[in-house]
Structure 1
Amino acid sequence: MGALRPLRSAQWYGGEHRNAYIHRAWMRRGAPSDAFTGRPQIAIANTASDLTPCNAHLREVAASVRDGVYEAGGVPLELPVMSLGETQVRPTAMLWRNLAAMATEEMLRANPVDGVVLLGGCDKTIPSLLMAAASVDLPAVVLPGGPMLTGTFRGTPLGCGTDVWRLSEEVRAGTLSQEEFTRSESAMIRSRGHCNTMGTASTMALVSEALGTVLPGAAGTPAPDSRLLEAAHGTGRLAVDLVHADRRPSTLLTRASFRNAIVALSAVGGSTNAVMHLLAVAGRLGIDLTLDDIDRLGSRVPVLVDLLPAGRFLMDDLHRAGGLLAVLRQVRDLLDPEALTVTGHPLVDYLDDREIWDEEVIRPRSRPLVEEGGIAVLRGSLAPDGAVVKPAAASPHLLRHRGRAVVFDSIEDFHARIDDPALDVDADSVLVLRGCGPKGYPGMPEVANMPLPSKLLEQGVRDMVRICDGRMSGTAYGTVVLHVAPEAAAGGPLALVRTGDVVSLDVPARRLDLDVDADELARRTPSTATTAGFAAPHRGWQRLYVDHVRQADTGADLDFLLGSSGSEVTRESH
């Protein structure tokens, strides 16, 4: 075996000069003399925060990671990093995903660390950590915090997020009292952990494992399960091995890795938000991943996991039934056999003995939940650069639809008018919401799954075609076309749609069109009401974001953050 690569941390701690003395002395605080020389320094990038309730338990998880790092001969160093709580942060957590990634990248680059364990859970935390790790290119492994256990209300399991939307619509429809709705609140969140539906948090945990960045078998372990702490211990040990093997994101993640992630995304019926995050991570690595790849590799993959919002069960059921690896065994022929994991072994090596223990939760390939249910990419005169839809969460009868547009210029405009009894809308109408893209809002909020007009809810309508340049929660459902690119605020044709225009949706043909003559469309300009709704920040992060954010079809990262810049230290203080 050849000599080990010199540790990056030796640039701080090695030698007898004054600067090395300062670095060692200030860190020792009772540690043994060899703690910071010759031993891998492993950062534990921890997104635990009381204001990110789904990640609060990561402090306990970090303690098990520490034990594993120590056992393998490394030195664990907890590094609190920017945390984004999906349910708390206004106006939308997506506004700060790129900032969290940039801040984590800079802290990893600036500090004497040789490798990193990435602790995340809530929607934007794992994507931002992966983006940071890809850019700084230190040996890195992800440990997802895990989903919560299932709560019940009136004897029925609750899917957090999904059932919030469902129950709130029942209140608006008059079939559930406000008092009963409020009573359900205490049952919705039963334990520590992130959403127990196949929302963005669960999706990104599973997709990260398929990508090869998680200890195989760990993703999806429920947060209160003691096996999560066992996985944390193993992840800490693995982080030290990664440093010795010099196994970094740039040596591990390839187009083959992203192929496996896209197949997994489709097979589990995952969140549309994962499309944006995968594109952003690939962009940091310099991998040319496109929306067309998402459609080509994933749109016709069968959905095998019967979980809310597309199905019936919840994340602890998936874990009980065999977990992600049991799902991937069913679609093994679609996976790239060469794509590696953080262990140094191919992902497919972990599938041989993975059985399905409940074929209602994980369907066998011969009996899928949806034959072709992966995320579909649409193009046409209304979305020249693409839009996405999740057929598995949509109403089959609406996947081909023509209807009259009812247009809203902002989310505020929508809220002001959607329940107006005089609103000219029927079940065949197409609700169009603009001004919600990366630049327009700013930050691309989860508002695309617009609540239906109350007068239609009262008539029994439960789904309509909805189109938006924003996003929707991964826990949401319905026939929703989202991520329309270019967005209205970037000059996209969405800004030119008028109430009464006919919109044509054809998901099987991958088309989204505005039935307006091209010459007529060329003569139109956005209305004052439309442009007045676009964001126009004057300072701070929002100004930087609006000036530099790219469009949804490329992952909505900042233009100056593309590509990996490595972990080298170029300047020295003191």
Structure 2
Amino acid sequence: MGTEYWNGAEAAHRRVMMKAAGYSDEDIRRKPHIGVPNSFMEGSPGTAHLRRICDAVKEGIWAAGGVPVEFGIPATCGNVANGSDEMKYEQVGRDIVAMSVEFVSRVHHFDGLAMIASCDLIIAGCYMAAMRLDIPSMVVTGGSMTAGQHCGKTVVEADLDAARFTGADEKELFELEESVCPSYGACPSMGTANTMQMLGEVMNLVLLGTATTPASDNAKIRLARSAGKYIVEMVRTNRKPSELITKEVLLNAIMFDMAVAGSTNAVLHLLAYAYELGIKLTYEDFDKYAEEIKCINAVIPSGPYTVVDFHYAGGVMNVMKQLEGKLFTDAPSIYGTTWGEMLSKIEAKENKVIHSLENPVSTLPGLKIMRGNI
């Protein structure tokens, strides 16, 4: 831990700023300082609930003997920008988020990070920041929203777009607007937000079994408090991203993305993460696993189910268990064990949402690299 930065006569000007902000001398001098970047923003269901989740994370940090220091990071909603010129900010926004976390964390010499994020470029930027800073880090996800109900049918945000593009009148669109997003959380299909939340578990940046816990499930608060406790443990054992995210871990992430038919943005993000870590990863790695692994996830748009259904069908860990024979099981897990050891405790549960490799949802891969001149 970097307690020396806060001790000695030369650190008096640092300590007085922390004291003026309400921290005690013992907290400042003796305890690990944990940065808590929070992407709370009131203008989106994916971020408007993160204040309570962040409070729970900080409670866990205090309980484990750490000192939480919350700060805000940029947050936008991709659906607000969709169809407008402002969509051009989506990918660069990831790097802005990463730089925001990096800037504050380096100035304040945090010993570890517990980041709060749910959506698209924001959660992708948090992962990138963890890799750049290479201090013990985790992300606590905001989870997925529940599906809506309209005229006896289950509906999600994508159904509003479908109705809009097929000529629905204003009355029908209004009724759908009132129905399709009934709770906080990321839109419950396999878009970028949920893809990146899930990949956080595979990349050892999110506590296993927690990424897809729905925003509406009170377990999300309990798990956030547990995550706050665990980041203090990670700091004390100095468990860093460079040790937890190996090439084998990234290859496991590619296999997982193929199996769940994740967002195409995951390709861009995984290649960027490899670059940050000094790992060689190419499009050929994606091609290789596209040939081997077909889609086994029946979540919209690959099937009729939502990410909430996916969570209660076993979530990320059930998919990883279905892939066990393909994975690099000697790769490290967030708990300091191997993925093989973690998966030995999991029972495979093939069901209507998560299929087995022998009985895929589709004989096509979940993702394919396209080449040529369009």
Residues 490-535 of structure 1 show CA distances to partners (whole Å, capped at 9, x for unaligned) of xxxx5xxxxxxxxxxxxxxxxxxxxxxxxxxxxxxxxxxxxxxxxx
Matches of residues 49-68 of structure 1 in structure 2 within 5 Å? Answer: 49-68=41-60
Unaligned runs of 5+ in 1: 1-6, 383-493, 495-574
What TM-score does the superposition give when structure 1 sets the normalisation length?
0.62
> CA offset at residue 302 of structure 1?
2.1
- Counterpart of 1:190? 182
Are the equivalent residues in 1 in contact too, given 2:293–2:357 (CA < 8 A)? no
Q: Tell me which residue corresponds to 2:18.
A: 27
Q: Which has a greater percent of helix?
A: 2
1:345-424 matches, cutoff 5 A: 345-355=337-347, 359-380=351-372, 382=373
Partners of 2:34 and 2:189 in 1: CA distance: 32
User: What is the aligned counterpart of 1:244 among 225, 230, 236?
Assistant: 236
Greater Cα shift, 335-344 or 94-103: 94-103
Q: Is the 8 A contact 1:212 1:341 kept in 2?
A: yes
Counterpart residue type for residue 299 of structure 2: L
Aligned to 1:128: 125
Higher relative contact order (CA 8 A, sep 6+): 2
RMSD: 1.7
Higher-Rg member (1/2)? 1
Match for residue 101 of structure 2? 104
SS of the residue corresponding to residue 62 of structure 2 reads helix
Contact 2:93 2:122 in 1 (8 A): no
Change (3 A) 1:103 1:321: same
Contact preservation (8 Å) 1:299, 1:376: no
Cross-structure match for 2:113: 116
More deviation, 333-342/35-44:
333-342
Tell me the secondary structure at the aligned position of residue 289 of structure 1. Answer: coil
The residue that corresponds to 1:146 in the other structure is 143
1:126 Cα deviation from its structure 2 partner = 0.9
Q: Distance in 2 between matches of 1:216 and 1:259?
A: 18
Instruction: After superposing the two structures, state which structure 1 stretch, 348-357 or 337-346, moved more.
Output: 348-357
Query: Contact 1:262–1:298 (CA<8 Å) still a contact in 2?
Result: no
Distance apart, 1:255 and its partner CA: 0.5
Residue aligning to 1:10: 4
Match of 2:216 among 224, 237, 240: 224
CA shift, 1:355, in A, is: 4.0
Kept after mapping to 1: 8 A contact 2:36/2:116: yes
Counterparts of residues 397-476 of structure 1 (less than 5 Å)? none
Kindly indicate whether the alpha-carbon contact (under 8 Å) linking 1:322 and 1:354 is maintained by their aligned counterparts in 2. no
Q: CA–CA distance in 2 between the matches of 1:98 and 1:25? A: 32
Contact 1:115 1:239 in 2 (8 A): yes
Q: Secondary structure at the match of 2:334?
A: coil
- AA of the residue aligned to 2:4: A
How many residues end up aligned between the 2 structures?
A: 368
Q: State the Cα deviation string for residues 102-137 of structure 1 (Å, max 9, x = none).
A: 222122111131100121111111111111111111
Structure 2 residue ranges without an equivalent (≥5): none
Q: Structure 1: which amino acid aligns with 2:278?
A: G
Find out whether 1:315 has 2:315 as its counterpart: no
Q: 1:91 aligns with which of 86, 95, 108?
A: 86
Which of 286, 290, 293 is the equivalent residue of 2:278? 286
CA distance in 2: counterparts of 1:185 and 1:169, whole angstroms: 14
Q: What are the superposed Cα offsets for residues 78-123 of structure 1, whole Å, 9 maximum, x if unpaired?
A: 1211223212346122232222222221221111311001211111
AA aligned to 2:58 is R
Give the deviation of 1:353 after TM superposition.
4.2
Please name the residue that 1:331 is paired with: 323
How far 1:366 moved relative to its partner? 2.6
AA of the residue aligned to 2:107: A
Question: Cα deviation per residue 1:273-293 (whole Å; 9 max; x = unaligned)?
Answer: 111111111111111111111
Work out the percentage of aligned pairs sharing the same amino acid: 31
Aligned residues of 1:320 and 1:357 also touching (Cα < 8 A)? no
TM-score between the two structures when normalised by the length of structure 2? 0.93
Match for residue 203 of structure 2?
211
Aligned to 1:536: none
